Amino acid sequence: MSLFSIGYATKPLTTFVDQLKSHEIDAVADVRSVPYSAVFKEYHREPLKAALNAEGIHYVYLGEELGPRSKLDAHYDDEGQVQFHRLMQSELFLSGVERLFAGIEKGMRIAMLCACKDPAICHRSLLVSYYLKHNSDIEVQHIDHAGQLESESELEQRLISIQNLEEDLLTPNEELGALAYERQVKQRAYRKPDI
């Protein structure tokens, strides 16, 4: 089974659609908690859905289930940062995962959509793809900004260099990936704005 992810970042909509088509994507699962963009209006939920449908690509919004911002206080720590390991155990998140599975089982080639240019800084890899890789037989293929593929395994290895980690006496090589992931999530997971 295969699943993809893609960020729109600064891409023109035509480039975004061309990349989807080049990977034979026929469904987009929007996993943004807020399906709107302050800058790129063509990626607002409604016009994006219309544009994708016009190209024969199905659009479904899964931001309630798989977005990085929870509405439940129990999913945050004392500093107001969402805790991905808590989100991964929630009924809502798991129902979103089941919806992805259902689409894949119907033969759809699905790409999860978010805004981030690099999946290494995005919850689509750090939350959803990480969960799938470590809890199912699905390894997400991330479509990078140029349209090339990077597997979740490759991305998790890349986190080691992003976090400038090297094997030493206290951290053996087999633990570097988990430590890099933990640090990346701490740096990138959503924090509630100060009130």
What pLDDT is stored for residue 174 in this prediction? 80
Q: Is residue 195 situated within a structural domain?
A: no
Work out the average pLDDT over 52-79: 97
How would residue 195 be classed by pLDDT, with cut points 50, 70 and 90?
Answer: low
Mean pLDDT for 177-193 is 96
* pTM of this structure: 0.94
- Asked whether the beta carbons of 162 and 125 are under 8 A apart, the reply is no
- Tell me the pLDDT tens digit for each residue of 136-148: 999 999 999 999 9
Structural domain boundaries, residue 174: 4-188
For 113-167, write each residue's pLDDT tens digit.
999 999 999 999 999 999 999 999 999 999 999 999 999 999 999 999 999 998 7
Distance separating alpha carbons of residues 36 and 29, to the nearest angstrom: 14
Asked if the structure places residue 129 within a domain, the reply is: yes
How many of the other CB atoms lie within 10 Å of CB of 151? 14
pLDDT of residue 171: 77
- Segment 169-195 shows an average pLDDT of 88
**For residues 50-79, average pLDDT:** 97
> Is residue 29 included in any domain, yes or no?
yes
Kindly state whether residue 65 falls inside one of the protein's structural domains.
Answer: yes
Question: What contacts 131, CB < 8 A, 6 or more positions away?
Answer: 88, 93, 97
Q: Is residue 74 part of a domain?
A: yes
Tally of structural domains, the chain: 1
Gap between the Cα atoms of 159 and 180, Å rounded: 6
Q: Does a structural domain hold residue 193?
A: no
Instruction: Give the model's confidence band at 168: pLDDT under 50 very low, under 70 low, under 90 confident, else very high.
Output: confident
Euclidean distance between CA atoms 69 and 84, whole angstroms: 10
Residue 179 falls inside a structural domain? yes
Helix/strand/coil (H, E, C) string of 22-33? HCCCCEEEECCC
Within-domain flag for 194: no
CATH number at residue 123: 3.90.190
